[in-house]
Structure 1
Amino acid sequence: MTDFQLDDFLPYLLNNAAEVTGRAFSAHYRDAYGMSRAQWRIMAHLGRGQSLTASDICLRAHLEKSKVSRAVAVLEDAGRVARSPSATDRRAEMLSLTDEGRRIYEDLADHARRFQHALKAKLGPEKAEELAMLLRNLAEG
């Protein structure tokens, strides 16, 4: 018999924490706008104000290309994202938020700030900052 304890396994704990917090946050964008997690993440990256290619989003959001393609198609059909030709690569298209996409992004960003504030209040400012630093370190590999 091994002394391995799943409940103490850090990847398991990280995944559970991400699932619980992600589910709680996703209720807003799912209920208010019918959006998936991938759609929210795409809009969040585009909401920073610069146009990006689908490949850029794949790298930044750690999403598979097929998932990004499907999500972008839905966002475009809903009038939230627009495509335009890339000035530097004939094969690429630049993605950006439409005015409607920007309006939705602003609402979701406000909700995200409130959600973040509640998480920080639950943990306390020092622990929240330490957790953020540790998570960034883990994400760097």
Structure 2
Amino acid sequence: MNNLLNLTQFFPYQLAKLQAMISDSIAEIYLGEFNLSKQEWRVLAILANESSLNAKEIGNKTNLEKMPTSRAIKKLVQSKLLEKVSNTKDKRSTLLTLTEKGQTLFNQLAPLVKAREQEILSVLNSQERATLNETFRKLEKITEQISTQPK
């Protein structure tokens, strides 16, 4: 059989598989004791860094589709981890922001997920980490260039 594409050697497949494994490893932390879904964690983390965004901006920054973003936001609002505030710049939309309870939860989770990240990255020395960061930056740049080229 002529195998034109060996998935185990195909970079997008390798990256997707690694991303899923790392994401699942980190998810063990917030899924268990904290009972957050992956989508809810992403929304919480984005808002901890951005202070207030509308639902569309959250979806774009978390790389989530509209429905999973909407469901995550709804549950976080119901759990009183997020609150809706008026958008003074655009009356058609509301902004979402962390409540004090949401910020407290994020503050509990952040060191735990950072520790897991460090555990995963511990197999790399500082030069390898720098090279990895530079490699990701280059791949993001070329992918963005390719994606914006006229078809």
TM-score by length of 2: 0.87
- Flag the structure with larger Rg: 2
Please list the CA deviations of residues 33-76 of structure 1 after superposition, one character each: whole Å capped at 9, or x if unmatched. Answer: 11111110000010015211111111111111111111000001
Query: Partner of 1:48: helix, strand, or coil?
Result: helix
In structure 2, the residue matched to 1:42 is: 43
Deviation at 1:30, TM superposition (A): 0.3
Q: Does 1:59 align with 2:60?
A: yes
Q: Does 1:88 align with 2:100?
A: no
* CA distance in structure 1 between the partners assigned to 2:66 and 2:16 by the alignment: 22
In structure 2, the residue matched to 1:116 is: 117
* CA distance in structure 2 between the partners assigned to 1:52 and 1:67 by the alignment: 16
Q: Does 1:130 align with 2:131?
A: yes
- Gaps of at least 5 residues in structure 2 are 144-151
Deviation at 1:31, TM superposition (A): 0.3
Query: Partner of 2:88: helix, strand, or coil?
Result: coil
Query: Partner of 1:63: helix, strand, or coil?
Result: coil
Letter of the 2:46 partner, please give it: H
Query: Partner of 2:52: helix, strand, or coil?
Result: coil
* CA distance in structure 2 between the partners assigned to 1:133 and 1:37 by the alignment: 27
Runs of 4+ in 1 over 4 A off after TM superposition: none
Letter of the 1:120 partner, please give it: L
**RMSD of Structure 2 on Structure 1 (CA):** 1.4
* CA distance in structure 1 between the partners assigned to 2:3 and 2:50 by the alignment: 51
* CA distance in structure 2 between the partners assigned to 1:101 and 1:136 by the alignment: 31
Q: Does 1:139 align with 2:140?
A: yes
Identity %: 24
Query: Partner of 1:83: helix, strand, or coil?
Result: strand
